[in-house]
Amino acid sequence: MHKSTLQKLSTLIAIILTLFMFISCTSTNTGAMDDEDELLSGTVVLENNGAQSYTVSRIDGDGISAETGTANPSITLTAGGRYTFVNQAGASSHPLDFRNGDREKLFGQSNAAGQFDSDSDVNVVENGDSITFTLTESLAASLADYICSFHPGMNGNLVLSQ
Ligand SMILES: [Cu+2]
């Protein structure tokens, strides 16, 4: 009689423990999904004024801002986000490069090698005229401007948002 009560009790405890493990697993997974959802993501569309300047025609998403319609505007980016530059000027006619303060290429659409070309966290992906990258803390510490590798006048600052 007493033994069977103990058995029932331990079965009940086992069920409760299993339920707790299931609930904590579920909530951990949900948390991870929320973290990924919170990754900033933005797109900027660039046009050109001949070989004189880039202009921004549109911005979508979060973490990126610039004045539209002005020549070579400063583009403000938030570290930690993943950003796409759609270069409507044409990646082959006006290859868009991203540089550090010493005017060295970090990555971009020109054929020259860049310091962050194969950084797996920055994960540069080129697709036609578009280029996408993640602004890691270490990239953010170096990033200074964007430039057309053919036309040095097509050049503007990249600014970190505070
Ligand atoms: Cu150009």
Residue where the block lists tokens 């020109």: 110
* Per-residue confidence (pLDDT) for residue 27, from 0 to 100: 46
Residue 53 Cα, ligand 1 centroid: separation in angstroms? 8
Token readout for 44 is 């900027």
Residue where the block lists tokens 């170096």: 142
Mean pLDDT by runs of 10 across the 162 residues of the chain is 62 55 49 56 98 98 97 98 98 98 98 98 98 98 98 98 85
Token readout for 86 is 């759609």
CATH of domain 41-160: 2.60.40
* Per-residue confidence (pLDDT) for residue 6, from 0 to 100: 61
Domain boundaries, the chain: 1-38, 41-160
Residue 140 Cα, ligand 1 centroid: separation in angstroms? 24
Residue 35 Cα, ligand 1 centroid: separation in angstroms? 38
Residue 88 Cα, ligand 1 centroid: separation in angstroms? 11
State how far the Cα of 78 lies from the Cα of 92, in Å rounded to an integer.
Answer: 28
Contacts of 127 (CB under 8 A, 6+ apart): none
Q: Count Cα atoms within 13 angstroms, Cβ side, for 128.
A: 5
* Per-residue confidence (pLDDT) for residue 12, from 0 to 100: 53
Can you give the pTM of this predicted structure?
Answer: 0.77
* Per-residue confidence (pLDDT) for residue 2, from 0 to 100: 59
3-state secondary structure of 80: coil
* Per-residue confidence (pLDDT) for residue 162, from 0 to 100: 76
